[in-house]
């Protein structure tokens, strides 16, 4: 585990999964149909429990021009800058279950932000950085 700092807020456009975890892949597929892989954009997964303790998952992509979300009629979210506890997973598709296991480990750290969220930042098609915000 290591600290990872996001130095600026990131405005993203989101597709909310119909369920978790079974709807996650479909949400990413819908997002990638609208925004195919592009080196100019960063891709994310954002999740947190709702008041019923159900996980709400959003597949997200960085907005690079103002008004894109409105043009496509999709939801927006702002990933807040700050310090995160993180772990890099290489070749995550070999064993997707390691994402959940790693988040469990990150969420068990004593200083996580209770109002934060789990963040997946896709580095490329095979590697992902998993992050959980920590209290200031």
Question: What is the mean pLDDT of each successive set of 10 residues along the chain, which is 136 residues long?
Answer: 94 95 94 89 94 93 90 93 95 90 92 92 94 90
Say if pTM beats, i.e. exceeds, 0.85: yes
**pLDDT of res. 9:** 95
**pLDDT of res. 15:** 96
DSSP per residue, 71-90? HHT-EEEEEPPEEEEEEEES
Angstrom distance (rounded) from CA 109 to CA 115? 14
């Amino acid at each position: 585990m290591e600290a990872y700092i996001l130095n600026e807020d990131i405005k993203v456009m989101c597709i909310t999964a119909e369920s978790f975890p079974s709807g996650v892949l479909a949400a990413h597929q819908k997002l990638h149909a609208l925004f195919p892989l592009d080196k100019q954009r960063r891709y994310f997964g954002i999740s947190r429990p709702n008041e019923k303790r159900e996980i709400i998952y959003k597949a997200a992509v960085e907005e690079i021009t103002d008004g894109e979300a409105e043009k496509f009629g999709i939801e927006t979210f702002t990933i807040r800058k700050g310090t995160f506890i993180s772990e890099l997973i290489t070749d995550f598709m070999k064993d997707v279950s390691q994402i959940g296991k790693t988040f469990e480990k990150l969420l068990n750290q004593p200083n996580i932000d209770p109002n934060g969220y789990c963040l997946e930042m896709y580095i490329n098609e095979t590697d992902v950085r998993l992050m959980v915000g920590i209290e200031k």
